Structure 1
Amino acid sequence: MGDSPEDALTLSALPVISIEPFLHPDGHGRLSTAAALHSACSEYGFFYLDISSYIDPAEPEELTRLAREFFALPQDEKDRISIAHEDSARGYQRLEENVTNGKADNHEAIDFYRPVENPDKRRPIWGENQWPTIQGFREKYETWIEKMKNLGMIVMEAMATGLGLTPEEWHELRSKVDDSFWVMRVIGYPPLPNDYDGFSCGAHRFLHADPIPDALQVFLAHPGLLVEKTGSLPAEQEVEDGGHWINADPKRGCVVCNIGEMWEVWSNGIYKSTLHRVIHKGSDYRIPFFFEPNFDARIEPLPTALRAQEEDRSLRGIKGVRKTYQPVVYGEFLLKKVGTNFDTGKGRYDGD
C-alpha cells in the first residue's frame, strides 16, 4: 500500500461473503469464498455472511418477535428464570446486571449454553438452561441453535481452507470443535439515555439483529485506512486512538460475523478479534450465537499459520523472535471470562 491518499484502502462497509459454495459437496466457488474469508478475517476481523440460501429470512424475524414478547413481560415474570436461580450464567439478567470494562451495560438478556451431563448449578456455567414459557419459544430457538451449530462447522471448514490447512490439519482442527460448547444470547436494548455513562453493550459470532441502523459499530485501527462517513455517527466517535468506528448495520439474509479470541490464537494473530460495541437510540433486539471450541479443547497456534508467518518474515527480511500465542484450554478460558461478567473487568465475549 502506498503513502498517498489515492493508494489508501477505502472502506464504507464490511465485506459481504456468501457461504453458498460450502453448503454443497465440491461446490463451485469454494476457493474464492475461502480467499474472501481469509482477506476479511486478516484485514478487518468482521464480515457479513450471506446465509440467504441456508435459512429463510422469516425465521430469525420470528425469533426477534418472540424475544420482543418476552422482554415486554412484567419484571417479576422475567425474574422467574433469573440466573440467580441457576449457575449465575444460564438465564435472564436485568438491565445493567451485565458488566463490560467496569461499566454496567444498558441491556437485558437471556443466556443459553450447551447442555452438560450431570448439571450442577453450584458449579459456574454447569447448570441447566432456563426457558421462557412463551408458546413456541423453546422449540423455535432450539431449531435455530441446531442450524447455527451446523453453520459454525461449515464456516470453520471455509476458514481452514482460506488459511491453507491441509486435509489432515483440518481433520485435527475439526476434532477441537465437533462438540462445540456454544453460547447463545437473546438481548433486548432500550433506548440509551443521553447522560448514560456507558454503552448499550460495551466494546466486545453469528449475530442476527433487528434492522436498526447506527447501532452495532466496529473499530478499525488500520494505518492508512480511509473510512467513508456513513450513517449518523457523531464526529467524536468516528476517530479514536488512530482508528475509526464504522457501522455494521443489519442486512436481510445476512448475519454479522466476528473473529473470536480462539481464532486469534489458532492463527497466531493473523486473524484479529476486533473491538465492537452497541449504541442504541431506540429499542432493539439481537441474538448472537457463539460457535466455540469443545470445552476441554487445547487451543494453540496452527502449524500452517506459523509457517505462513515465517515465510512472510523471510520475504521481508525480518529477523528476531516471532511472537507466539500461548496455548489455552478453552473451558478454563471461558470460566475466567464469565467470572468477570457481573463484576468489574472484561465482560462476556467482550460484551456482545
Structure 2
Amino acid sequence: MTQALASLPIIDIAPYLEAERNPTKCQSTSDALHNACVEYGFFYLDISRFIDPSEPEELTRLAREFFTLPQEEKDKIGLEHQDYARGYQRLKQNVTNGKADNHEGIDFYKPVEKPDKSKPVWGENQWPDIPGFKHKYEQWIEKMKKLGLIVMEAMSVGLKMTTEEWLELRAQVDESFWVMRIIGYPPLPTDDDGFSCGAHKDYGCLTFLYADPTRSALQVFLRQPGTTASALDGLPTEHGTEEGMWINADPVPNCVVCNIGEMWEIWTNGLYKSTLHRVLHRGSSYRIPFFFEPNFTANVVPLRAALRLLTSQDKESSSNDKQTYKPVVYGDFLLRKVGTNFALDGKGKYD
C-alpha cells in the first residue's frame, strides 16, 4: 500500500475565532475534530484566519540563519549549559528508539519560577544571539498557546462535554507546560538509513507543526485492519504488528499539521489514540513543532464525557465496568520521558 491511497482531513478553526460564533458552524468544526481524532489522530488545521503567512516564513528564515552558523557558535547554547533539556542539540544527539536522529535542533520550555539547571526541565531557555530571534519566536509561542486553548474547547464540544466539564478540563491546561522545538535537517552522512527521526508517538496533548514546503518527509501510520504496509523506498516499516499503512502528511498552505499525544489517549480512555509518525530525510529543511501540553501539575484522568461516549457504543456495559486508563500527573510523566531524551546516557526519547 502506498501513501497515495489516503490523506488527512483539513479542518478550518475559523468558526471558533469569530467574535459572535455561529453554533452550527462551530458544531461542524467540533464534529470534524472528533472524527479526525477517532479515525486518524492527525489532521490539518487551517489557521489562515489566525496567523499571517509571513510569520512562520520569518521563523524559518531565522532558523536557517542559526543552523548555518559555525558549530562553535551553536554550541554556546548547548543543552549541557542548562538542564540537558533546554537548548541546542547537535546532529545525532537526539535519539529515537535507540537510534540517533539525523537532525539538529533547539528546545524551549515554559519558563519556570526559581529556575534550577540541576533539575530536569527546570532550567532557563537559551536563545540564539540573532537580532529579532527571541522576539519573533515568543510572539509565535503566545499565538500557539491561544490556539491550543481554542482547539481544546472545540474538542470538548465534539466530546459532548458539559460546560462544567469543559471548565474542569480547561483548568488542567490553562498554564500549559508547553514545549517548542526548532529543527534543522542538514545533508545526510553517507552511512545513514534515510531517517531524520524514527517512528514515535507524541506524549503530550496537542502538536502544532509548521513545516517548510518539503514534500514526502512527514509520514503518518494509519491503522487499518487487514492492511499490510510494505517497506517504502527500502525503509523499514517501523510499525510493529499493527495493521495499516504509512501516508505522507505533506505541508498544506495556511495549515499546520496537528496531532494528539498520549494525554488525549488517557483523557478519552483510548477513544482517541496517539498515532505513530516519522520523518524521512528529503533534503535540507526546517520544521517548527509546538507542543501544547497540560499543566505540569495536571492530574490526567479519563473524562466522564469520553466514558459516556464509549458506553453508548457498547450498550451492554457501563462506564463503571470498563477498564480505564490509569491517571498520570503530567509533570511526572514528562520527566520520565525527557530523562531519556538525548544521547547523553545511551538512551533516547522514546525508549
State the TM-score, normalizing by the size of structure 1.
0.90
Q: CA deviation at 1:311?
A: 1.8
Give runs of aligned pairs for residues 98-109 of structure 1, distance below 5 A. Answer: 98-109=94-105
Equivalence for 1:177: 173
Deviations 1:75-133 (A, max 9, x none): 00000000100000000000000111111111100000000000010111000000001
Q: How does 1:92-241 map to 2 (within 5 A)?
A: 92-193=88-189, 195-197=191-193, 199-204=195-200, 205-223=207-225, 233-234=232-233, 241=241
How far 1:12 moved relative to its partner? 2.1
- Aligned pair partner of 2:68 in 68, 72, 83: 72
Between 24-33 and 289-298, the greater mean CA deviation after superposition: 24-33
Distance (whole Å) between structure 1 residues aligned to residue 318 and residue 332 of structure 2: 35
Distance in 1 separating the partners of 2:116 and 2:18: 40
CA drift at 1:323: 2.6
**Counterpart amino acid of 2:219?**
Q
Note the C-alpha offset of 1:11: 5.1
CA displacement at 1:345 relative to structure 2: 5.0
Task: Find the aligned partners of 1:319 and 1:42 in 2 and give their Cα distance.
Answer: 18
- Residue-by-residue CA offset, 1:247-290 (whole Å, 9 max, x unaligned): 00011100000111111110111111000000113001000000
Q: Which residue of 2 aligns with 1:337?
A: 337
Paired residue total: 336
* SS of residue matched to 2:34: helix
With normalisation by structure 2, the TM-score equals 0.90
Partner of 1:3: none
Give 1:234 shift.
2.4
Deviation at 1:291, TM superposition (A): 0.3
Q: For residues 287-342 of structure 1, what are the alpha-carbon distances to aligned partners after superposition, in whole Å with 9 as ceiling and x for unaligned?
A: 00000000001000001111111121116x79995231000000000000000112
How far residue 223 of structure 1 moved from its aligned partner, in angstroms, is 1.5
Return the alpha-carbon distance in structure 1 between the equivalents of residues 157 and 163 of structure 2.
Answer: 9
Return the alpha-carbon distance in structure 2 between the equivalents of residues 73 and 79 of structure 1: 10
> Following TM superposition, by how much is the alpha carbon of 1:237 offset from its aligned partner in structure 2, in angstroms?
6.1
Identical columns (%)? 65
Whether the aligned pair in 2 keeps the contact of 1:101 and 1:344 (CA below 8 Å) is: no
Aligned partners of 1:254 and 1:276: how far apart in 2? 18
CA pair 328-338 structure 1, distance change in 2 beyond 3 A: same
Question: Could you say which residue in structure 2 is the equivalent of 1:7?
Answer: none
Unaligned runs of 5+ in 2: 201-206
* Residue ranges of structure 1 left out of the alignment (5+ in a row): 1-9
Q: Which amino acid is 2:40 matched to?
A: Y
- The RMSD of aligned alpha carbons is 2.4
Instruction: Point out the more displaced range, 184-193 or 59-68.
Output: 184-193
CA positional deviation for 1:68: 0.4
Matching of residue 27 in structure 1 with residue 21 in structure 2: yes
